[in-house]
Amino acid sequence: MAQDAWMETCLIGISPIGEQEVQFAGIVETMDFDIGEKDIEGKPLVNGGRITKWLSEGDSEVTLEAYPLEAGNANGLYDLMHSNAILVASTTDSANTSKLEDTTQNFSTLGIATGDKVVNTTDNTVAYVTAVDDSDTLSISADIMGSGDDYTIFNSPLRIVNDRTRTKHRLLALFTDKTTAVRASEAIANTFNALRIGVAGGYFTSVKPSFTDGELKFTAKYKCAAFDKRGTAQVMMESCAAGGGSDALPVIADYTTSNTFG
């Protein structure tokens, strides 16, 4: 590495299972990983000796401190613990200036309306719906969508109420000297340094706001078990060191029931 430590910046991508990865680095101040221990316990024998008993690997916890500007949709955190306000999460299949086109969706029956928020989750740009042209085409306030871009559309105004819904999430944190990186899940070539931490299969268990010293700040906690019920690992750490050849990080595909860190 050119520097002695990872400092100042990272990317944070959070994915509800079956939905697009959303970037959160723009509002997060600190992020602490408490990765579960693989502890042991000594069992005394009558001859004065001991046998070592393996204890199950503990749960992992991530704590985020953030400065929200909204209730959710990457500018806030409350929708991570309760139902989000996403109307649709999909991928465009063509591109025209200041349009969102997706023939796999029916924007009319989905209830998309003027003013709803459009987020390009491929590059984290934002626009608003200005008109529903037809069932698969929206006019939007800025030219942010290209063909094959992932996107989400949120209700506007945004309101999230507490509910009994519990949605699994994956959280990725990417530290890299690739200055053009925009997604925590993206591939890092063998000419760059990077370290990526991932936790999956867990839930946001706490989202607490506070207004101290004139600043609105949220503290959010995410917890996951070390393995799922199939025994598949749910905690991952990987790195590359610009070594050339195969020393590169692969792209991490969307989080689904069949893919954790693939």
- Asked, for residue 94, whether it belongs to a domain, the answer is yes
Residues contacting 214, CB < 8 A, separation 6+: none
* pTM for the structure as a whole: 0.85
> Is residue 181 situated within a structural domain?
yes
Residue 207 one-letter amino acid:
V
Residue 40 located in a structural domain: no
pLDDT at 84 over 80: no
Query: 44 lies in a domain?
Result: no
- pLDDT at position 2 is 65
CA 111 to chain centre: 26
Task: Identify whether residues 136 and 175 lie together within a single domain.
Answer: no
Residue 261 domain flag: no
Range of the domain at 104: 86-154
Residue 251 lies in a domain: no
Higher pLDDT: 225 or 18? It is: 225
Residues 91 and 188 in one domain: no
Please indicate, yes or no, whether residues 90 and 217 belong to a single structural domain of this protein.
no
Instruction: For residues 74 and 126, state if they share a domain.
Output: no
Domain check: are 72 and 90 in the same one? no
Assess whether 125 and 219 both reside in one domain: no
Instruction: Examine the domain organization and report whether 117 and 171 are in the same domain.
Output: no
Q: Are 157 and 70 in contact (CB under 8 A)?
A: no
pLDDT at position 238 is: 98
- 125 and 234 fall within a common domain: no
Q: What is the pLDDT of residue 75?
A: 86
Q: Do 154 and 178 contact (CB within 8 A), yes or no?
A: no
The CATH number linked to 99 is: 2.40.30
| Residue 100 shares a structural domain with residue 147 | yes
What pLDDT, in 10s, does the model give residues 85-138?
A: 788 989 999 989 999 999 999 999 999 999 999 989 888 789 999 999 999 999
Residue that is last in its domain, among 137, 154, 171? 154
Same domain, 132 and 226: no
Check: CB of residue 229 under 8 Å from CB of residue 236. no
How many structural domains comprise the chain? 2
